[in-house]
Structure 1
Amino acid sequence: MGTPEHGPIRVVLVDDHEMVIEGLKAMLGAYRSRVRVVGVAVGVDSALSVVAGLQPDVVLCDVQMQGSSGLDLCRLLHERDPQRKVVLLSVYDDEQYLFQALRAGAAGYLLKKITGEELVMQIERAHAGDVVIEAGLASRAVDTAARVQRDEYWPGARQGLTQRESEILSFMVSGLSNRAIATRLLIGDETVKSHLRSIYRKLDVRDRTGAVATALREGIFR
């Protein structure tokens, strides 16, 4: 797209790992005529303050951060300014995260495997008003949306749960512990905990008891 008419696009980076932030700064630094990192923030609270003070054109934010969520930050920023461009950058190649991001008002959902040139192009598109989504993920999301609409998907899909999250929730309803779930699925305890945090957020509950109660109340598993 070339150099923006009014100078480089002003970007704020948000992540909970300084190493990731520094890596992104270095990546974008090669395209200074097109984008300029004007600020960085670690975590949601810091990001709200930084964005309010700097008023960037685009906020580039990680989806998952310790003790907070880029989805929550996106929602808060969008509530404060519906025109705010927030692009979420994630390792999660998961259409359910994409659906949540769009519901939160995100201008895009990209994967961290993206190249520097592609990232800059997508930032430029988001700044211009497009919704930018990683191509393969967008294709799968269209199929998932159609199948959910036809009621052809797994239990919990309508609540935004992935197939693995639905499986874990079913084990929780059956009374299995985290360790038992990990053993059954051949995954680590921390992976189970990560899935649980996602389940709680999607079901809008605080803990295992709330998740099980919601599953039973909503008739997720018939």
Structure 2
Amino acid sequence: MDGMVVQHGRPRCLIVDDSPCFLDSARRLLEQQGIPVVGTVTNTADAVRTAAELQPDVVLVDVELGAESGFDLAWRLDESCAAAVILTSTHAEQDLADLISASPAVGFVSKTELSSDAVRDLLDPADLAAPVSEPRER
């Protein structure tokens, strides 16, 4: 995948959530709206491994992964891969605002507001044009 360039406006996405129902729904929604979903996983270990293997452009991370923390995962992904991290939750953004702003995530999308436009709006256009094998500037 070295040197691979993302098609304009089509960020490759990995979804991390402990709910199989949400994973299925989010995958179908994003793919119908033009965002290829390269994988879905339910825990942090699989997320780190899969992100390294698949090199997605963006990783959607639920803030509550059962006993694991999506905020901790955001930090691990920031250190280990070039993907932009977008946090998701059923909780209101204002309830998590301090944790979101302290995280390396590029932003937050409520699960009820998830759409390809919401994902694209949080991504820097440079992230969508850069080779996925090179780390993003922070």
Same fold flag (TM > 0.5): yes
Match for residue 126 of structure 1 among 86, 107, 122: 122
Name the structure, 1 or 2, with higher relative contact order (CA <8 Å, separation 6+): 2
Match for residue 19 of structure 1 among 18, 21, 32: 21
Distance, in Å, in 2 between the alignment partners of 1:58 and 1:94 is 19
- Match for residue 99 of structure 2? 100
Distance, in Å, in 2 between the alignment partners of 1:99 and 1:9 is 27
Q: From the superposition, tell whether residues 77 and 91 of structure 1 become closer, same or farther in structure 2 (CA, over 3 Å).
A: same
> How many residue pairs end up in the alignment?
121
Amino acid at match of 2:30: L
Q: From the superposition, tell whether residues 97 and 129 of structure 1 become closer, same or farther in structure 2 (CA, over 3 Å).
A: farther
SS of the aligned residue for 1:16 comes to coil
Distance, in Å, in 2 between the alignment partners of 1:97 and 1:55 is 27
Higher Cα radius of gyration? 1
The reply on whether 1:91 has 2:90 as its aligned counterpart is yes
How far off is 1:127 after superposition?
2.6
Q: TM-score, normalization: structure 2?
A: 0.78
- Match for residue 45 of structure 2? 45
Distance, in Å, in 2 between the alignment partners of 1:18 and 1:96 is 24
Measured against aligned partners, the alpha-carbon deviations of 1:73-130 in whole angstroms (never above 9, x if no partner) come to 001111234x531001111115252221221201111111115xxx211211223259
Any conservation in 2 of the 1:98–1:109 contact (CA below 8 Å)?
no
The equivalences for 1:24-35 within 5 A come to 24-32=26-34, 35=35
Any conservation in 1 of the 2:9–2:120 contact (CA below 8 Å)?
no
Structure 1: which 5+ residue stretches go unaligned?
131-222
Distance, in Å, in 2 between the alignment partners of 1:65 and 1:12 is 15
**Identity between Structure 1 and Structure 2 (%):** 27
Any conservation in 2 of the 1:101–1:109 contact (CA below 8 Å)?
yes
CA RMSD of aligned residues (A): 2.1
Q: From the superposition, tell whether residues 100 and 7 of structure 1 become closer, same or farther in structure 2 (CA, over 3 Å).
A: closer
The equivalences for 1:138-157 within 5 A come to none
Distance, in Å, in 1 between the alignment partners of 2:118 and 2:67 is 28
Amino acid at match of 1:22: D
- Match for residue 134 of structure 2? none
The equivalences for 1:131-210 within 5 A come to none
Any conservation in 1 of the 2:109–2:119 contact (CA below 8 Å)?
no
Structure 2: which 5+ residue stretches go unaligned?
1-5, 127-138
Q: From the superposition, tell whether residues 49 and 57 of structure 1 become closer, same or farther in structure 2 (CA, over 3 Å).
A: same
Any conservation in 2 of the 1:91–1:112 contact (CA below 8 Å)?
yes
Q: Which runs of 4+ in 1 moved over 4 A?
A: 4-7
Distance, in Å, in 2 between the alignment partners of 1:123 and 1:94 is 15
Distance, in Å, in 2 between the alignment partners of 1:85 and 1:98 is 18
- Match for residue 8 of structure 1? 10
Distance, in Å, in 1 between the alignment partners of 2:93 and 2:103 is 16
